[in-house]
Amino acid sequence: MSPIEQKQQQVETLMRLAPVIPVVIIDDARAAVPMARALVAGGIPTIEVTLRTSAALDAIRAIAAEVEGAVVGCGTALTARDLAAAQQAGARFAVSPGTSPRLLDAADDSELPLLPGVATASEAMALLERGYRHLKFFPAVPAGGHKLLGAWASPLPQIRFCPTGGISLSSAPDFLALPNVLCVGGSWLTPADKLASGDWTGIELLAREAAGLR
């Protein structure tokens, strides 16, 4: 089995852990551990911490070290440096909003499995040529929503998706019902107000709702 096939199997495993991967934007790394514990307690073990804030790598490091049952990865991976820093912090996977030749080359050299983003069938085909069968569909709602993704199921039957971007608890079932969707990504599980106030019970309840979507 080739390295890309091995990493794609890892991606498939994490995509099947729960129906939703929370997309987390965290401003205070001190919130990372209680937040992650609340998500895991609610049945959501896979956590994507986006590299959009200065606290992100410290948050990944803390979750990886202290939260049993959590599978933490980095989101908004754009460069080889991002992949290296996330891996060093303890990330188990990486997610990108799109792709570039340099990022894909860096992913080939990295131990981290990558879930790369696409918004068109042409982008999906290009990644399929490189061995990627598990992709992020982003931004899911603005790019065409579940109807577009459903239309890809027949001509691109090899590919499974994690649609992310504009999805909510109420719209997630439309995506999860598709044969080519394994999970969705969503920021609604960790809203900024609950992170700021330390409402871990509230986040656990949101996680339980999300875990119950299947």
Catalytically annotated residues: 48, 136
The CA distance from 113 to 19, in Å, is: 19
Q: Which residues pair with 157 in a beta bridge?
A: none
The CA distance from 127 to 203, in Å, is: 35
Q: Could you give phi then psi for residue 213, rounded to 5 degrees?
A: -70, -15
Whether the CB-CB separation of 117 and 135 falls below 8 Å is answered with yes
Residues 6+ apart with CB under 8 A from 151: none
Whether the CB-CB separation of 67 and 37 falls below 8 Å is answered with yes
